[in-house]
Copies of this chain bind each other. A is one copy, B any other.
């Protein structure tokens, strides 16, 4: 008698997720039909439903994939810096990584789609939120290294800075996606410049003193 092959199942699942991702990027979660995903993955509806029990679970699987990949970038940046790499060089690399991998119209569309999905679905929101927190804490660790090395202003709160920078990157990704007025090269340069100006130690000015009070 025939036995189930877990490896082949895993491969098929990944194929389906990949196909779905392409569809979602092109037409969004709501507009892509199961029929389209089936066509792209060369599988029948009946067969597909042996691997995923709903459209939603395909979306969830895809989101987890993305989150995993983003985390990889952060983890490698953190280990680099912990092994003595130059802080700003590592930051620049991380930003370049983000810009090249996420600053496409498709990825931007995806991000917006994911956010609006998370907004309605509590289970989905939980997962996104936790993923974000994870990235945030890793980024905090990176920034703390920078602060120890005196590349980041001592008076700057790390959690605040991490949130601000991540928000800026996200905002830029979305901006670039739906408004073609910024190139990847500009985005990358602007983000680096922003990080440097925002993070680097400053001489005490009137406004600084006022601000810290």
Binding site for B on A (CB under 8 A): 27-28, 30-31, 88, 105, 108-109, 112-113, 115-116, 118-120, 125, 128-129, 132-133, 153, 156, 160, 163-164, 166-172, 174-175, 177-182, 186, 190-194, 196-198, 200-203, 205, 207-208, 211
Contacts and interface: CB of A to CB of B under 8 A. Distances in A.
Contact of A207 (B115, B128, B196, B203): B196
Given A128-B178, A198-B197, A166 B171 contact: yes
A115 B177 contact: yes
Given A112-B116, A112-B119, A125-B178, 11 more contacts: A105-B119, A128-B179, A129-B180, A132-B178, A160-B186, A160-B190, A164-B191, A174-B174, A200-B205, A201-B205, A202-B203
Contacts of A186: 160
28 contacts: A27-B120, A28-B119, A105-B119, A109-B120, A113-B116, A115-B174, A115-B177, A128-B178, A128-B179, A129-B178, A132-B178, A132-B179, A133-B181, A160-B190, A163-B190, A164-B191, A168-B171, A170-B170, A170-B171, A170-B175, A171-B174, A174-B174, A193-B211, A197-B198, A200-B202, A200-B207, A200-B208, A203-B203
Contacts of A120: 27-28, 31, 109
Contact of A193 (B133, B160, B171): B160
How many chain copies? 2
A197 B177 CA distance: 27
A22 to B, nearest CB: 15
A180 B27 CA distance: 29
Contacts of A113: 112, 116, 119
Nearest to A167: B171
B115 A178 contact: yes
A129 B196 contact: no
